[in-house]
Amino acid sequence: MAQLFRTLRRKFGIAAPRVSVQTHVAWYWRWLGIIVLGAFVVGVGLTTYDYGMELAGFRQSEAARALAKLNDEILKREAAIVEMRTQVAAVERQLQENAALKEDLAFFQSLMASGAKELGLSINRFRVQPDALPGEYRYRMLLVQSGQRIKEFQGTLQFLVYLEQGDRKFVLSLPPEDQKNAREYQINFKFFQRVDGTFKVAPGTTVKSLQVRVFENGVNAPKLSQTASVS
pLDDT at res. 111: 60
- Residue 127 is classified by DSSP as E
Which DSSP helix (H) or strand (E) runs through 177?
Answer: none
List CB contacts of 152: < 8 A, sequence separation 6 or more: 188, 189, 190
Cα angle 82, 183, 191; round to 5:
110
Contact 227, 125 (CB under 8 A): no
- Contact, 152 vs 189, CB < 8 A? yes
Tell me whether strands 206-216 and 136-146 are parallel, antiparallel or unpaired. Answer: unpaired
Give 9-46 pLDDT, tens digit per residue. 565 555 555 555 555 556 656 666 677 676 666 666 66
Rounded Cα gap, residues 217 and 156, in angstroms? 7
CA-derived radius of gyration, the chain: 49
Tell me the C-alpha distance between 121 and 142, whole Å.
11
Q: Which residues of the chain have pLDDT under 70?
A: 1-33, 36, 38-62, 100, 103-119
